[in-house]
Amino acid sequence: MNHLDLNTVWFVLVGVLFTGYAMLDGFDLGIGALHLFTRKDEERRIMLNSIGPVWDGNEVWLVTGGGALFAAFPNVYATVFSGFYLAFVLLLFALIFRAVAIEFRSKQPMFWWRQMWDIGFATGSIVSALLIGVALGNIAEGIPIDANGEFAGSFLGLLKPYPLLIGITTVALFMMHGAIYGVMKTEGSLHDKLRGWAMNSIIFFVICAATTTMVTLLYVPHMAEQIKSHPWLFSIALANMLSIANIPREFHRGNDWLAFLSSCATMATLMMLFGIDQYPNLVFSQPNPENSLNIYNAASSQKTLGIMLIIACIGVPIVLAYTACIYWIFRGKVKMDRTSY
């Protein structure tokens, strides 16, 4: 990281957008993953309505992240979206089914109807989280890229142990994030249940995170090289560990909001570690590192990046403002009425 040019700024911005996506959509995917743990119709409805007003706004961050990638680094977009075609189609179906399930589930009273959409919602949420993690894991470990910058692997080749581990870790992270969010939004017996699930998912996540760290250091050593050569960057790894440790600490004290913020900080520091070790590569090529796509050989023209930066400076504050508005309007515990999901 020698100097701050437009390419680096966009590398950071794409990272910020995906981090925002993880923090926001992470908890509603997590709520989805926990959905089938309760069998009571009323409780399932409360869980749905806790994310009801915000989940689609949260998914906008995925769209803007993908859009920014397309405009700023079109070669990466082309390689990844062509190479991961089937995986991304599956992700799209998972996202479609969970979205449709939220809308349709409570429109009919029949048990089979609601059960069908509930399963769709939970499966769609878990599969989405898993596939996002698997994609991230593949990018971290490196994927085969030929001299023309095209993906040279297969769909089944993406389901290697390391990406699958990252996928499961992502599911655990989102479940924990969603359970803490659920605790903040509910009261009564569901609140107590969610408290228990949050505790279990914190344990689940800590085990996954520890395993991922060990496996990464042992089998994907290139993910630690930047930190090795710049020891001060270890502070981010330390910050990551501290924020993970702070989640159960605040949660036990009943500071659910601080526990949620610690969970957000965990995601931010994880993404920073990921970004630092990728930089300046966007897609690491394994086994031929010289074919890697980086922020220079995969970028749009300087003019495009400059214009996009102006648009981002106008657009991002607007998105942040309306997001803050929505969360403020729907603050507090979920209240059900006739128009609820």
Partner 1 sequence: MDFARRSLRIGLVVALIACVLQAISGDISARGVAKHQPAKLAAFEGLYNTESNAPLAIAGYVNEPDQKVVGLEVPGLLSFLVYHNPHATVEGLDDIPPQDRPPVESCFLFFHGMVAIGFTLLFIAIFGCFFAWRNKLVENRWLLWIMVFSVLGPEIANQLGWFAAEVGRQPWIVYGLLRTPDALSKVVEANTVLTSLILFTFIYFLLFAVFIYLLNHKIQHGPHPDDLVPHGKLALPKNLIHHQ
> Which residues lie near partner 1 (CB under 8 A)?
78, 81-83, 85-86, 89, 93, 96, 100, 104, 107-108, 148, 150-152, 338
Residue 273 in tokens? 């570690």
Smallest separation (angstroms) from partner 1 to the CB of 88: 9
Residues 295 and 11: beta-carbon distance below 8 Å: yes
Smaller CB separation from partner 1, 139 or 202: 139
As a whole number of angstroms, the distance between CA 314 and CA 293 comes to 29
Question: Considering beta carbons, is residue 85 or 219 the nearer one to partner 1?
Answer: 85
* 208 contact partners, CB below 8 Å, separation of at least 6: 165, 168, 169, 172, 173
Which CB sits closer to partner 1, 91 or 172?
A: 91
Task: Report the nearest approach of partner 1 to the CB of residue 234 (Å).
Answer: 38
- Residue placing its CB nearer to partner 1 in the complex, 42 or 150: 150
CB of 337 to partner 1, least distance (A): 10
Cβ distance to partner 1 smaller for residue 152 or 239: 152
The strand pairing partners of 151, in sequence order, are: 145
DSSP letter string, 211-237 = HHHHHHHHH-GGGGHHHHHSGGGHHHH
Q: Closest approach of Cβ 60 to partner 1, in Å?
A: 21
The closest alpha carbon to 178, from 328, 314, 334, 35, belongs to 35
Is residue 101 within 8 Å of 118, Cβ to Cβ?
yes
Q: Least CB distance from residue 312 to partner 1, whole Å?
A: 25
Buried b (16+ CB within 10 A) or exposed e, 7-32: bbbbbebbbbbbbbbbbbbbbbbbbb
Give least dist CB 85 to partner 1, A: 5
Q: Which is nearer to partner 1, 78 or 215 (CB)?
A: 78
Type of residue at 226: Q
